[in-house]
Amino acid sequence: MSSIAGNSARKFEPGTECVAKYDFKGNSQADLPFRKGDLIEIKRATQDPNWYDARRVSDGKTGIIPINYVQQRRGLHIHEMPWFFGKISRDEAEKLLKPRTVGLFLVRESTNYPGDYTLCVVSPSSQMKVEHYRITSKDNNKYSVDDETYFSTLSELVKHYKKDADGLCTTLVKSLKKEDNAISSTAFKESFQKEGWSVATEDITFKEKIGTGEFGEVFKGDYQGRAVAIKQLKDDTHAAQSFLREASVMTTLQHQNLVVLIGISFRGQDILILTEHCSKGSLVNYLRSRGRAVIKQEEQLSFARDVCTGMEYLEEKHMIHRDLAARNVLLTDNPGSSCLLAKVSDFGLAKDQQIQQKDAEKFPVKWTAPEAIREKKFSSKSDVWSFGILLWEIFSFGRNPYPRVSLDNVLDKVLSGYRMEKPDACPPHIYQIMLKCWCTEPDKRPSFREMSPKLYRETNL
């Protein structure tokens, strides 16, 4: 091994996913060559801290790599940052922080130090002036105000100073929020690039169209030899915000029962989200096209468990999906199993539970909990209601919920106590889980964590 990586080696845990920052041709047969933009999985450290055993994701080849040639991919938490105002000047920040109240704050991109940020907060001084603190951003993706305490994300930094001033003029009391809660496309773009999620457009090959989503058309494609699904943005500003927000949410979520984000690309005015391609299509189409003659109860139960496990992960992350349905579950091969693997997809409506969403008017009535329809109260428990509907879809082989009930009458019938009947051949304990999911009072519904073990055995909740 040569000293190509230098002396500033960083420690990477096995399984860490990285993206190549530079081309590496390799110096020996033991080395793993790669191109800039390749996805690399760290396997283990070597005796030389500058070099690691690694695997190239596109083809599975392994070898030794210089660690300073790759960058660890980190989740973007920009969707959790309503206080982030992107590129605004010092003067603009001070104007926005009027009327002045102590502890009112925002974060902006630094105008004097590109790549760094500035925390702007109203001080308790007699003039209630705005103090501007430089937030340095290190090569190891750590953020600090004082070069003593470091944080993995800006969100963590803000949470810390909300609890303790710790050298600032005051604790952060209240964040200034944009009226439309919008985040500039430029801020999103730079964040994706900085955290290693931006991919080169020239490495993407479009193939056939496979659908139309909330944002626009969806294509099957290829990225560095890997089959991907490509969501292409409609030319609409509001859609761009939702599109990029969806991708930023996906960078923070990694689970075998959630569709995996591969990367995001900016092509002229177009924005492309690349996710893994689930070759067997949507769960609802699979159920409807095969039916009871092909699909056995073992596979139905497997789908239910997969979805519940993915949703349990979201629940633990305090994330709300808000559009859980069989149409938003994708299927792919599951090596070593006779059943396909189900993955929850479409996080366009997934939100942190503490963030208020203003576009809650758009939701599918037959899958949505009563409190979400009437009061726009979305929670993990409203996702549980939707899961109950999804279970009904699975065991009715993809039938549309509330058959023979008009859309306008669904809510009234549900509130009057009506519940769908047990699908034919559905195990009684599964139907009992559905009924528990459909409790009118959200607090009386089970959690995904409580339901998960019940889907493995015949027992009531």
Tell me, what's the pLDDT at 432? 96
3-state secondary structure 375-407: HCCCCHHHHHHHHHHHHHHHHCCCCCCCCCCCH
Residue 259 and residue 385: Cα distance in Å, rounded? 21
Class of domain 282-457: mainly alpha
Handedness of CA 411, 383, 271, 59 (dihedral sign): negative
Which CATH architecture group holds 185-276? 2-Layer Sandwich (3.30)
**Matching CATH topology for 16-72 and 185-276?**
no
Which CATH architecture group holds 90-175? 2-Layer Sandwich (3.30)
Burial profile 79-95: b = 16 or more Cβ within 10 angstroms, e = fewer: bbbbbbbbebeeeebee
Was 231 annotated as part of a binding site?
Answer: yes
User: What tens-digit pLDDT sequence spans the chain (461 residues)?
Assistant: 444 444 445 678 888 888 898 999 998 999 999 988 888 999 999 999 899 999 998 788 999 999 999 988 877 766 667 788 877 899 999 999 998 999 999 999 888 888 789 999 999 998 899 999 999 987 556 889 998 898 877 888 999 999 999 999 999 999 987 655 455 566 677 778 778 898 889 989 999 998 876 667 899 999 988 899 998 886 566 677 777 777 888 888 889 999 989 999 988 778 899 999 999 999 999 999 998 889 999 999 999 999 999 999 999 988 899 899 999 999 999 988 889 999 999 865 455 444 344 444 455 899 999 999 999 899 999 999 999 999 999 999 999 999 989 999 999 999 999 999 999 999 999 999 999 999 999 999 999 999 999 897 654 44
Tell me, what's the pLDDT at 57? 83
Active site residues: 323
Which CATH architecture group holds 16-72? Roll (2.30)
Please report, as a single letter, which amino acid is at residue 154: L
Whole-prediction pTM: 0.76
Tell me, what's the pLDDT at 79? 63
- Map out the domains of the chain as residue ranges: 16-72, 90-175, 185-276, 282-457
